Amino acid sequence: MSQQKGFHVAVVGATGAVGQQMIQTLLKENFPISKLTLLSSARSAGKVVDVNGQEITIQEAKPESFEGVQIALFSAGGDVSKELAPEAVKRGAIVVDNTSAFRMDVDKPLVVPEVNEADLHEHNGIIANPNCSTIQMVVALEPIRQKFGLKKIIVSTYQAVSGAGATAVEELMDQTKSILAGETVEPKILPVKADKNHYQIAFNAIPQIDKFQENGYTYEEMKMINETKKIMHLPDLQVSATCVRLPVAVGHSESVYFEVETEGVSAQEIKALLKDAPGVVLQDDPENQVYPMPANCVGKNDVFVGRIRKDIDEDRGFHMWVVSDNLLKGAAWNSVQIAERLVELGLVK
């Protein structure tokens, strides 16, 4: 870790799948760090992590842990954020929170830098990082909204198990091995660890991510619906979502139908827009079978978009296929990117 002039950064949830990616991303992006504090639950505290050749001992996250911290990246579950993020703010830190704890609070910005960076100015100490499946979709839609307006979204997701944590990835791999060996499996984690029933994910598709609300939608689906409206500042945007878990380790895919406000737009115009859009890589050449796939997005910060085509019946309707690494742009990279923007905007004290 470089000792250049920089900031005192804390990562809360440093042993989790996203926390690990946050540390890697801070290093990869050469984020200016003067001191790195790694925090976790009492259970994981004491572990020693190698960060770029330097051994750092993970400490139990407590209110006092944030003394002197300037930027705190939280990814240790909503309860930890609710308890400790205000303590970090009290001690002068600015918090980028990757849980759902504060996302819909009216006084806390929910930010995807490519879409609503300006909202960072209205932070009250805490900036929420949106849900992984929301982020990649709005990155692809924002350039379209800017040019042609946006009226309606219908999205069906194809989500990787790493969104449910490192133990869910282990479950996928162990289960797959067992099934190939002809052994019976006893699912314990997916679809939702804290829910009543658990189902096989290997060679299967589970139409449940997070628990169900009373309206028949899951919390994951409602996150996509509500967060998209907030991030894009479009309270009247029509959004609906169906979220499905797949036997894929890393990389969320989304089949997105959207309607623009402008009439007579061509698929070619949408492609031209996305070709030069920030954070987007256009992979759209059907003749040569070029389209995004989760297996190809792993480890990359970009949002990959392809299969762009006009609806056959609806002049203002289009379809596209959006893929991104859910641990990076969907979580760690978006959080670090927010931190980068905060620094560049002079918002870190």
**Site residues (vs its own copies, CB under 8 A):** 152, 154, 156, 158, 173, 176-177, 180, 191, 195-197, 199-200, 203-208, 212, 215-217, 225, 238-240, 242, 244, 246-249, 253, 255, 257, 267, 286-289, 291-295, 306-314, 317, 319, 321
Q: Is the dihedral of CA 65, 71, 76, 77 positive or negative?
A: positive
16 carries a ligand binding annotation: yes
> Is 252 assigned a catalytic role?
yes
For residue 328, the minimal CB distance to its own copies (Å) is: 17
Q: Smallest Cα–Cα separation from 212: which of 230, 227, 194?
A: 194
128 carries a ligand binding annotation: no
17 carries a ligand binding annotation: yes
Q: Indicate the residue among 246 and 339 with the shorter CB distance to its own copies.
A: 246
Residue carrying the six token digits 């829910």: 195
190 by DSSP, 3-state: which?
A: coil
Which residue in 8, 123, 243, 252 is the catalytic one?
A: 252
> Is 132 assigned a catalytic role?
yes
For residue 142, the minimal CB distance to its own copies (Å) is: 20
Q: Smallest Cα–Cα separation from 175: which of 136, 137, 202?
A: 202
Q: What are phi and psi of 338, to 5 degrees?
A: -60, -45
Which residue in 132, 198, 233, 297 is the catalytic one?
A: 132
Rounded alpha-carbon distances, angstroms, from residue 249 to 157, 165, 170, 253, 298: 15, 10, 9, 12, 9
15 carries a ligand binding annotation: yes
43 carries a ligand binding annotation: yes
Using the 8-state DSSP alphabet, how is residue 331 labeled? I
Q: In what order do the strands lie in the sheet with 252-259?
A: 238-242, 152-158, 252-259, 317-324, 303-310, 280-282
Q: Indicate the residue among 194 and 349 with the shorter CB distance to its own copies.
A: 194
316 carries a ligand binding annotation: no
User: Cα–Cα–Cα angle for 19, 21, 26, nearest 5°?
Assistant: 95
Q: Indicate the residue among 102 and 321 with the shorter CB distance to its own copies.
A: 321
Q: Indicate the residue among 26 and 308 with the shorter CB distance to its own copies.
A: 308
- Enter the tokens of residue 39: 């925090």
Q: Indicate the residue among 9 and 202 with the shorter CB distance to its own copies.
A: 202
Q: What are phi and psi of 292, to 5 degrees?
A: -75, 150
For residue 324, the minimal CB distance to its own copies (Å) is: 13
For residue 84, the minimal CB distance to its own copies (Å) is: 32
For residue 159, the minimal CB distance to its own copies (Å) is: 10
The answer to whether 24 and 332 are in contact (CB under 8 A) is: yes
Residues forming the active site: 132, 252
Annotated binding site for NADP(+): 15-18, 43-44, 162-163, 326
Annotated binding site for substrate: 159, 245
Annotated binding site: 15-18, 43-44, 103, 159, 162-163, 245, 326
